[in-house]
Chain A
Amino acid sequence: DAGITQSPRYKITETGRQVTLMCHQTWSHSYMFWYRQDLGHGLRLIYYSAAADITDKGEVPDGYVVSRSKTENFPLTLESATRSQTSVYFCASGRRSGEQFFGPGTRLTVL
Protein backbone atom coordinates (compact mmCIF):
# COMPACT_ATOMS: atom_id res chain seq x y z
CA ASP A 1 0.00 0.00 0.00
CA ALA A 2 1.19 3.51 -0.73
CA GLY A 3 2.15 5.61 2.22
CA ILE A 4 4.74 6.13 4.88
CA THR A 5 5.42 3.55 7.55
CA GLN A 6 7.56 3.46 10.66
CA SER A 7 8.86 0.56 12.69
CA PRO A 8 8.80 -0.35 15.44
CA ARG A 9 5.74 1.51 16.70
CA TYR A 10 6.84 1.07 20.31
CA LYS A 11 10.30 0.44 21.70
CA ILE A 12 11.72 0.17 25.19
CA THR A 13 15.48 0.13 25.54
CA GLU A 14 18.16 0.78 28.11
CA THR A 15 20.62 3.61 28.46
CA GLY A 16 23.68 3.08 26.32
CA ARG A 17 22.11 0.72 23.79
CA GLN A 18 22.02 1.44 20.08
CA VAL A 19 18.55 1.75 18.60
CA THR A 20 17.48 2.13 14.97
CA LEU A 21 14.12 3.46 13.95
CA MET A 22 13.00 2.64 10.44
CA CYS A 23 11.06 4.79 7.99
CA HIS A 24 9.82 3.76 4.56
CA GLN A 25 7.79 5.74 2.02
CA THR A 26 6.29 4.62 -1.28
CA TRP A 27 5.59 8.00 -2.88
CA SER A 28 9.14 8.56 -4.17
CA HIS A 29 9.21 11.91 -2.40
CA SER A 30 12.64 13.44 -2.57
CA TYR A 31 12.52 14.97 0.91
CA MET A 32 12.40 12.97 4.13
CA PHE A 33 12.49 14.22 7.71
CA TRP A 34 12.85 12.99 11.27
CA TYR A 35 11.20 14.85 14.14
CA ARG A 36 10.87 14.27 17.82
CA GLN A 37 7.87 15.45 19.76
CA ASP A 38 7.97 16.20 23.46
CA LEU A 39 5.48 17.97 25.70
CA GLY A 40 6.21 21.67 25.75
CA HIS A 41 8.49 21.56 22.72
CA GLY A 42 6.21 20.69 19.85
CA LEU A 43 7.87 19.10 16.83
CA ARG A 44 11.60 19.52 16.52
CA LEU A 45 13.54 18.58 13.42
CA ILE A 46 16.39 16.13 14.03
CA TYR A 47 17.69 15.46 10.51
CA TYR A 48 16.40 15.77 7.01
CA SER A 49 17.34 14.56 3.57
CA ALA A 50 16.77 16.29 0.25
CA ALA A 51 17.58 13.18 -1.80
CA ALA A 52 19.37 9.84 -1.56
CA ASP A 53 22.87 10.25 -0.12
CA ILE A 54 22.14 13.85 0.94
CA THR A 55 21.41 14.50 4.61
CA ASP A 56 21.61 17.56 6.82
CA LYS A 57 21.21 18.44 10.46
CA GLY A 58 18.10 19.95 11.90
CA GLU A 59 17.50 21.69 15.20
CA VAL A 60 18.43 18.82 17.56
CA PRO A 61 20.84 16.39 15.81
CA ASP A 62 23.16 15.49 18.70
CA GLY A 63 23.14 11.79 19.58
CA TYR A 64 21.49 10.75 16.31
CA VAL A 65 22.77 9.41 13.02
CA VAL A 66 20.91 9.04 9.73
CA SER A 67 21.58 7.54 6.35
CA ARG A 68 19.72 7.47 3.06
CA SER A 69 21.12 5.02 0.56
CA LYS A 70 17.72 4.59 -1.13
CA THR A 71 15.07 7.22 -1.81
CA GLU A 72 12.38 5.26 0.02
CA ASN A 73 14.21 4.56 3.29
CA PHE A 74 15.47 6.93 5.95
CA PRO A 75 16.58 5.12 9.15
CA LEU A 76 17.38 7.02 12.32
CA THR A 77 19.94 5.56 14.74
CA LEU A 78 20.51 6.49 18.35
CA GLU A 79 24.12 5.46 18.80
CA SER A 80 24.04 5.30 22.61
CA ALA A 81 20.55 5.96 23.92
CA THR A 82 20.03 8.36 26.81
CA ARG A 83 16.95 8.99 28.93
CA SER A 84 16.59 12.43 27.39
CA GLN A 85 15.91 10.70 24.08
CA THR A 86 12.68 9.23 25.41
CA SER A 87 10.17 10.74 23.02
CA VAL A 88 7.78 10.15 20.16
CA TYR A 89 9.59 10.11 16.84
CA PHE A 90 7.89 11.00 13.59
CA CYS A 91 9.21 10.44 10.11
CA ALA A 92 7.79 12.52 7.26
CA SER A 93 8.24 12.83 3.52
CA GLY A 94 7.33 15.49 1.01
CA ARG A 95 8.18 17.53 -2.04
CA ARG A 96 9.87 20.88 -1.93
CA SER A 97 6.53 22.54 -1.17
CA GLY A 98 5.32 22.98 2.37
CA GLU A 99 3.29 19.77 2.40
CA GLN A 100 4.65 16.86 4.41
CA PHE A 101 3.15 13.46 5.06
CA PHE A 102 3.84 12.00 8.47
CA GLY A 103 4.25 8.40 9.51
CA PRO A 104 2.34 7.02 12.51
CA GLY A 105 5.23 7.60 14.90
CA THR A 106 7.46 5.51 17.14
CA ARG A 107 7.12 5.83 20.87
CA LEU A 108 10.57 5.27 22.36
CA THR A 109 11.26 4.83 26.05
CA VAL A 110 14.84 4.77 27.33
CA LEU A 111 15.20 3.33 30.83
Chain B
Amino acid sequence: GQSLEQPSEVTAVEGAIVQINCTYQTSGFYGLSWYQQHDGGAPTFLSYNALDGLEETGRFSSFLSRSDSYGYLLLQELQMKDSASYFCAVRDLKDDKIIFGKGTRLHILP
Protein backbone atom coordinates (compact mmCIF):
# COMPACT_ATOMS: atom_id res chain seq x y z
CA GLY B 1 0.00 0.00 0.00
CA GLN B 2 0.92 3.63 -0.01
CA SER B 3 2.21 5.52 3.00
CA LEU B 4 4.00 8.74 3.74
CA GLU B 5 6.15 9.24 6.82
CA GLN B 6 6.98 12.62 8.35
CA PRO B 7 8.33 13.57 11.77
CA SER B 8 5.47 14.61 14.03
CA GLU B 9 7.26 17.67 15.42
CA VAL B 10 10.29 19.78 14.66
CA THR B 11 11.66 22.73 16.66
CA ALA B 12 13.93 25.44 15.29
CA VAL B 13 15.09 28.94 16.15
CA GLU B 14 13.94 32.12 14.45
CA GLY B 15 16.29 33.06 11.62
CA ALA B 16 17.62 29.53 11.25
CA ILE B 17 17.08 26.88 8.56
CA VAL B 18 14.96 23.77 9.05
CA GLN B 19 14.39 20.69 6.92
CA ILE B 20 11.22 18.60 7.10
CA ASN B 21 11.59 15.16 5.61
CA CYS B 22 9.03 12.98 3.90
CA THR B 23 9.66 9.36 3.04
CA TYR B 24 7.15 7.35 1.14
CA GLN B 25 6.19 3.90 -0.03
CA THR B 26 4.14 3.83 -3.17
CA SER B 27 4.38 1.96 -6.42
CA GLY B 28 4.39 5.13 -8.48
CA PHE B 29 3.19 8.69 -8.24
CA TYR B 30 2.90 11.88 -10.25
CA GLY B 31 4.84 14.09 -7.89
CA LEU B 32 5.34 15.31 -4.33
CA SER B 33 3.44 18.30 -2.95
CA TRP B 34 3.84 20.32 0.23
CA TYR B 35 1.17 22.23 2.13
CA GLN B 36 1.22 24.56 5.11
CA GLN B 37 -1.57 24.76 7.65
CA HIS B 38 -1.84 27.24 10.50
CA ASP B 39 -3.94 26.39 13.55
CA GLY B 40 -7.62 26.79 12.74
CA GLY B 41 -6.92 27.42 9.07
CA ALA B 42 -7.04 25.54 5.82
CA PRO B 43 -4.04 23.92 4.11
CA THR B 44 -2.34 26.15 1.58
CA PHE B 45 -0.19 24.95 -1.28
CA LEU B 46 3.57 25.56 -1.01
CA SER B 47 5.31 23.56 -3.72
CA TYR B 48 5.15 20.66 -6.15
CA ASN B 49 8.01 18.50 -7.40
CA ALA B 50 7.11 16.59 -10.55
CA LEU B 51 10.75 15.76 -11.26
CA ASP B 52 13.75 14.92 -9.13
CA GLY B 53 15.71 17.85 -7.86
CA LEU B 54 15.28 21.09 -6.03
CA GLU B 55 12.47 23.60 -6.53
CA GLU B 56 12.93 27.02 -4.95
CA THR B 57 10.21 29.52 -4.12
CA GLY B 58 11.47 32.39 -2.02
CA ARG B 59 12.45 31.19 1.44
CA PHE B 60 10.99 27.75 0.79
CA SER B 61 12.59 24.98 -1.24
CA SER B 62 11.46 21.45 -1.89
CA PHE B 63 13.47 18.45 -3.01
CA LEU B 64 12.54 15.09 -4.48
CA SER B 65 14.55 11.94 -5.08
CA ARG B 66 12.43 9.16 -6.54
CA SER B 67 15.30 6.68 -6.41
CA ASP B 68 15.59 7.23 -2.65
CA SER B 69 11.80 7.47 -2.07
CA TYR B 70 12.52 10.69 -0.23
CA GLY B 71 11.69 14.33 -0.30
CA TYR B 72 12.05 17.32 1.95
CA LEU B 73 10.88 20.86 2.50
CA LEU B 74 13.54 23.39 3.41
CA LEU B 75 12.57 26.60 5.15
CA GLN B 76 15.20 29.34 5.39
CA GLU B 77 15.37 32.52 7.46
CA LEU B 78 12.66 31.20 9.72
CA GLN B 79 10.05 33.65 10.95
CA MET B 80 7.60 33.26 13.80
CA LYS B 81 4.76 33.18 11.25
CA ASP B 82 6.23 29.95 9.86
CA SER B 83 4.99 28.16 12.99
CA ALA B 84 2.46 25.78 11.47
CA SER B 85 1.93 22.21 10.39
CA TYR B 86 3.45 21.03 7.13
CA PHE B 87 2.10 18.15 5.08
CA CYS B 88 3.59 16.24 2.20
CA ALA B 89 1.29 14.56 -0.31
CA VAL B 90 1.51 12.34 -3.37
CA ARG B 91 -0.92 11.47 -6.13
CA ASP B 92 -0.83 7.78 -6.89
CA LEU B 93 -0.06 6.94 -10.51
CA LYS B 94 -2.28 3.87 -10.67
CA ASP B 95 -5.56 4.99 -9.09
CA ASP B 96 -5.12 8.77 -9.10
CA LYS B 97 -5.81 8.95 -5.35
CA ILE B 98 -4.07 11.48 -3.17
CA ILE B 99 -2.35 10.48 0.05
CA PHE B 100 -1.27 12.98 2.70
CA GLY B 101 1.32 12.46 5.39
CA LYS B 102 0.13 13.04 8.95
CA GLY B 103 1.91 16.35 9.11
CA THR B 104 4.89 17.88 10.91
CA ARG B 105 4.27 20.49 13.53
CA LEU B 106 6.98 23.18 13.31
CA HIS B 107 7.71 25.10 16.52
CA ILE B 108 9.83 28.21 16.22
CA LEU B 109 11.65 29.62 19.21
CA PRO B 110 12.54 33.33 19.44
Contact = CB atoms under 8 A, between A and B. Distances in A.
Contacts of A92: 43
B54 to A, nearest CB: 16
Nearest to A100: B45
Interface in A5-22: none
A105 B58 CA distance: 28
Interface residues of B, number: 24
Nearest to A44: B100
Contacts of B102: 40-42
Given A42-B87, A42-B102, A103-B42, A59 B33 contact: no
Instruction: Name A's interface SS.
Output: strand
Contacts of A48: 96-98
A74 B44 CA distance: 20
Contact of B31 (A43, A98, A101, A102): A98
A101 B33 CA distance: 12
Nearest to A43: B100
A102 B37 CA distance: 10
A33 B43 contact: no
A50 B100 contact: no
Interface string A30-57: 0001010000111111001010000010
Interface in B67-101: 87, 89, 91, 96-101
Contacts of A98: 30-33, 48-50, 89, 91
Interface of A: 33, 35, 40-45, 48, 50, 56, 58-59, 90, 92, 96-105
